[in-house]
């Protein structure tokens, strides 16, 4: 689990925990990933298990363009740490660079088609798909599989989420898939300010 989560659970100040990690004085095991992320392996909290589906656990990380490659590795580290904190045994990490509107992502299609993958973990809903996310979740649930979204706090209102998906789809058709997200955000800001 990440430093912030462990500090909150244990009742410590986050800065104190960071200092303990820098000075190698942590009371529980921890590791530093190549990107500098610190993952704490506290046996008290790692005994939890991912409820529901069996089978392999795959952590799927995606960014839209090659200039976000550093963000891709950080995203992969965060969701892998989450998988370990939920008690996953040896989760696989799959990273991909491609548009969220594009349905031709080879690695994601392989994961979705593989019946041995029981759990797919993503950081945000839009990392898996920009539109029709609920259809993917329903199809996987019908097979006894599941999707876990680590941070589902992006949009809580269903109407706002639906409107964002529709705008993204229309902008992708009109302006191309690459600039669709930016135009969608601009349209939402204009609607909010009107």
Which sequence positions are flagged as catalytic?
Answer: 64
**Cβ contact 21:38 at 8 Å:** yes
CA within 13 Å, CB half, 169: 12
| Residue 155 CA from chain centroid, whole number | 15
Do residues 19 and 58 lie in contact, with contact meaning Cβ atoms separated by under 8 Å? no
Q: Residue 67 CB: number of other CB atoms within 10 A?
A: 9
Choose among 138, 63, 142, 51: nearest CA to 97.
63
Do the beta carbons of residue 133 and residue 105 sit within 8 Å?
Answer: no
Residue 81: exposed, middle, or buried by beta-carbon count in 10 A (0-12, 13-18, 19+)?
buried
**C-alpha of 20 from chain center:** 28
CA distances, 85 to each of 12, 47, 105, 115, 169 (Å)? 18, 8, 28, 24, 35
């Amino acid at each position: 689990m990440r430093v912030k989560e462990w500090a909150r659970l244990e009742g410590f100040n986050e800065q104190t925990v960071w200092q303990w990690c820098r000075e190698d004085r942590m009371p529980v095991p921890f590791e530093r990933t190549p990107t500098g992320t610190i993952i704490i392996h506290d046996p008290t909290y790692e005994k939890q298990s991912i409820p529901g589906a069996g089978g392999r656990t795959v952590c799927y990380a995606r960014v839209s363009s090659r200039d976000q490659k550093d963000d891709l590795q950080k995203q992969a580290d965060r969701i892998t740490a989450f998988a370990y904190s939920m008690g996953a045994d040896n989760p696989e990490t799959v990273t991909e660079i491609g548009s969220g509107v594009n349905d031709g992502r080879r690695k994601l299609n392989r994961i979705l088609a593989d019946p041995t993958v029981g759990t797919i973990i993503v950081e945000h809903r839009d990392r898996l798909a920009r539109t029709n996310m609920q259809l993917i979740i329903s199809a996987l649930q019908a097979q006894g599989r599941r999707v876990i979204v680590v941070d589902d706090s992006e949009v809580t209102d269903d109407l706002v989420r639906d409107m964002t998906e529709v705008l993204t789809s229309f902008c992708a058709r009109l302006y191309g898939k690459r600039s669709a997200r930016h135009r969608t955000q601009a349209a939402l800001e204009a609607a909010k300010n009107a």
